[in-house]
Copies of this chain bind each other. A is one copy, B any other.
Amino acid sequence: MSDFSKLAINQFTTLHQWSLPQAIEGYARHGVHAIGIVRDKLHEVGVAAARQSLRDHQMKVTSHCVGGLLTDSDPQRFQANLQDTRRAIDEAAELGAECLVFVAGGLPEGSKDLPAARVRCLEGLADVLPYAAQAGVTLALEPLHPMICAFRSCLSTLSQANDWIEELDAGPELGIVVDVYHVWWDPNLEHELQRAAGRIVSFHVCDWLMNTTDLRLDRGMMGDGVIDIGRIRRLVEATGYAGYREVEIFSERNWWQRDPDEVVSITKARYLSDVLGQP
């Protein structure tokens, strides 16, 4: 009954508690064998040690987080972020990650020109895609909630991600991440998920707390909020997606303060009850 074979945990869920080797060992100890990796955490230990640890614990890498941030109007910073995205692609290839999560970036400092930021990001994406294709890595566009448009992601909706994909006319090196937290409110969710059929390469879950206190770091555990996660999972899977369900919780005030073993235990229980809908 308790099948955790498609459960992945993104390392952000235990960000303050565990290093990468600790997270790999910890998740595996709880019977979870897929992880989303945070770049800063990878850099603390290096790719070789990470690969060894992944092998030792039969751990698969679902996502590597993140590349992108290609909205800068300063040419030097724009080029530096392009270069950094290429490094992230290399890392994703070395880790055998299913995708590199691509976060667009927000408005450059002092700018109010959102349409221009979007154009720059799309151009940067076009620039870096052949590199991803050659490395055999899928860049996964993640539309992030409109409330973090200003400082984090000018890619704000599934509709926009679908439009970008149509415009770029790319191969399997370009996909989409669907995170329930970012898209649950979208009146066109069902239609845009259908449009994204075949492009969805990663599916993230957490919950929206009714009393959210922070725009970025106050996500809830599945079941503690108001998202009908089961409905969105079924819609995503109806498009043909058959991959992992990756739990990713940013939670400064709650889950990042808790004992990480407790976090993983509760994650597993809520995965069954609130993602799979088992009684």
A: which residues have CB within 8 A of B? 107, 111-114, 118, 145-147, 149-151, 156-157, 159-160, 163, 184-188, 208, 210, 212, 215, 225-228
Task: Closest B residue to A228 by CB, please name it.
Answer: B112
Closest chain-B Cβ to A225's Cβ sits at a distance in Å of: 8
Q: List 29 A-B contacts (CB under 8 A).
A: A107-B226, A111-B226, A112-B226, A112-B227, A112-B228, A113-B228, A114-B184, A114-B185, A114-B228, A118-B187, A145-B146, A146-B146, A146-B147, A146-B185, A146-B186, A149-B185, A150-B185, A150-B208, A150-B210, A150-B225, A150-B226, A156-B185, A156-B186, A156-B187, A157-B187, A159-B187, A159-B188, A212-B215, A215-B215
Task: Closest B residue to A184 by CB, please name it.
Answer: B114
Q: Which residues of the other chain, B, contact A210 by a CB distance below 8 angstroms?
A: 150-151
Bound Cα distance from A146 to B159, whole angstroms: 15
Bound Cα distance from A188 to B186, whole angstroms: 13
What copy number does this chain have within its complex? 2
Q: Which residues of the other chain, B, contact A186 by a CB distance below 8 angstroms?
A: 146, 156
Bound Cα distance from A215 to B118, whole angstroms: 24
Q: Which residues of the other chain, B, contact A145 by a CB distance below 8 angstroms?
A: 146-147
Q: Which residues of the other chain, B, contact A185 by a CB distance below 8 angstroms?
A: 114, 146, 149-150, 156
Bound Cα distance from A121 to B113, whole angstroms: 35
Q: Which residues of the other chain, B, contact A118 by a CB distance below 8 angstroms?
A: 187
Closest chain-B Cβ to A140's Cβ sits at a distance in Å of: 19
Bound Cα distance from A163 to B191, whole angstroms: 14
Task: Tell me if B215 and A187 are in contact (CB < 8 A).
Answer: no
Bound Cα distance from A208 to B210, whole angstroms: 22
Q: Which residues of the other chain, B, contact A188 by a CB distance below 8 angstroms?
A: 159
Q: Which residues of the other chain, B, contact A212 by a CB distance below 8 angstroms?
A: 147, 150, 215
Q: Which residues of the other chain, B, contact A149 by a CB distance below 8 angstroms?
A: 185
Known: A107-B226, A145-B147. 19 other contacts (CB 8 A): A111-B226, A112-B226, A114-B228, A145-B146, A146-B146, A146-B147, A146-B185, A146-B186, A147-B212, A147-B215, A149-B185, A150-B185, A150-B210, A150-B225, A156-B185, A156-B187, A159-B188, A160-B187, A212-B215
Closest chain-B Cβ to A149's Cβ sits at a distance in Å of: 4
Closest chain-B Cβ to A236's Cβ sits at a distance in Å of: 16
Q: Which residues of the other chain, B, contact A160 by a CB distance below 8 angstroms?
A: 187
